[in-house]
Chains A and B, each alone.
Chain A
Amino acid sequence: MNSLSAVSSGPVYTTMTTAVDPSPGTVLLAVRHASKSYNGVPALTDASLELRAGEVHALMGENGAGKSTLIKLLAGVLAPDRIEVEIQGRPATLHSPQAAYGHGLRFIHQELNIVPQLSVAENVFLGQRYPAWFGTLVRWRTLNRRARDVLAMLGVHHIDPSERMARLSPGDQMLVSIARAFAGDDSDNGSRALVYVMDEPTAALTGHEVDLLFEVINGLKARGSAVLYVSHRMEEIFRISDRITVMRDGRVVGTRHAADTHPGELIRLMTGRTLQQVYPPRQTPVGERMRLTVRNLRSHAVRADAFDLREGEIVGVAGLNGSGRTELLRALVGADRRLSGEILLDGRRVSLTPAMAWRNGVAFVPEERRSQGLVLSRSVADNITLPGLAWLSRGGMLIDRGLERRTSRSLGDTVQLKMIGPDQTVRELSGGNQQKAVFARALTRTTRVLLLLDEPTRGVDVGAKVDLYRLIRELSGQGAAILMVSSDLPELIGMTDRILIMRQGVLVDEVPTAGLTEESLLSLCYGETAHERSTDGGR
Chain B
Amino acid sequence: MSVPQTVGVRPARKRRAFSVARWLRTFGTLIGFLIIVAIFWQQRPTTFMTVTNWLNITQQVSILGVVAFTMTVVMVVGDFDLSVGTMASLVGIIAGTLFQNEQPVAVAVVAGLLAGALGGLINGFLVSYVGISAFVTTLGTMTIFGGLALYISGGTTIFGRVIPEAFGNFGREGLVLGSITIPNLTLLALAVLVLTWFILEQTVFGRRLYAIGGNREASRLAGVRVRFLRLLAFVVSGLGAAAAGLMLASRLASANPKQGDGLMLNAIAAVFLGMTMSEEGEPHVLGTLVGVLILGVLANGLTQLNIDSYIQQILTGGIIILAVTLSSLSRRGQ
A residues sitting closer than 8 Å to B (CB atoms) are 38-41, 79, 249, 271-277, 280-281, 283, 333, 335, 354-355, 357-359, 364, 366, 371-378, 382, 386-387, 389-390, 393, 396-399, 412-413, 416-421, 425, 441, 466-467, 470, 474
Contacts and interface: CB of A to CB of B under 8 A. Distances in A.
A280 B13 contact: no
B223 interface: yes
A387 B222 contact: yes
B5 A274 contact: yes
B48 to A, nearest CB: 38
A386 B14 CA distance: 25
Contacts of B147: none
Contact of B2 (A280, A358, A419, A425): A280
Q: Which 4 A-B pairs have the closest CB atoms?
A: A40-B17, A358-B223, A375-B214, A272-B8
Given A271-B9, A376-B214, A470 B282 contact: no
B204 A354 contact: no
Contact of B221 (A364, A389, A396, A412): A364
B5 A276 contact: yes
Contact of A354 (B207, B211, B222): B222
B9 A375 contact: no
A274 B15 CA distance: 28
A389 B219 CA distance: 12
B222 A441 contact: yes
Nearest to B10: A413
Given A272-B9, A397-B203, A40 B19 contact: yes
B16 interface: yes
Contacts of B8: 271-273
Interface in B208-225: 208, 210-211, 214-215, 217-225
B221 A470 contact: no
Nearest to A356: B223
A277 B222 contact: no
Given A39-B22, A275-B4, A375 B17 contact: no
A376 B213 CA distance: 11
B79 to A, nearest CB: 16
A420 B17 CA distance: 11
B101 interface: no
Contact of A418 (B6, B12, B219, B223): B12
Contacts of A357: 223
A416 B11 contact: yes
Given A281-B2, A375-B219, A389 B17 contact: no
A399 B202 contact: yes
B3 interface: yes
Interface of B: 1-9, 11-19, 22, 201-208, 210-211, 214-215, 217-225, 279-282, 333-334
B16 A377 contact: no
15 contacts: A38-B334, A41-B15, A41-B16, A280-B3, A283-B1, A333-B221, A354-B221, A377-B280, A378-B210, A378-B211, A387-B224, A399-B201, A412-B11, A416-B11, A419-B11
A417 B11 contact: yes
B27 to A, nearest CB: 16
A416 B22 CA distance: 28
Given A41-B17, A276-B4, A375-B214, A355 B224 contact: yes
B15 A420 contact: yes
Contacts of A377: 214-215, 280-282
Given A249-B12, A273-B7, A375-B214, A39 B223 contact: no
Contacts of A359: 223
* Most B Cβ at <10 Å: residue of A271, A364, A386, A441: A386
Contacts of A276: 4-5
Nearest to A37: B17
A453 to B, nearest CB: 13
A453 B5 CA distance: 25
B5 A41 contact: no
Contacts of A283: 1
Contacts of A418: 11-12
A79 B222 contact: no
- Max chain A C-beta neighbours (<10 A), residue from B13, B15, B203, B223: B223
Contacts of B204: 389-390, 393, 396-399
B7 A274 contact: yes
Contacts of B3: 280, 470
A399 B203 CA distance: 5
Given A382-B207, A470-B3, 12 more contacts: A38-B334, A79-B334, A272-B7, A275-B5, A280-B4, A375-B210, A376-B215, A378-B210, A382-B211, A420-B15, A425-B279, A474-B1
Contact of B211 (A358, A386, A393): A386
Contact of B17 (A39, A358, A441): A39
Contacts of B17: 39-41
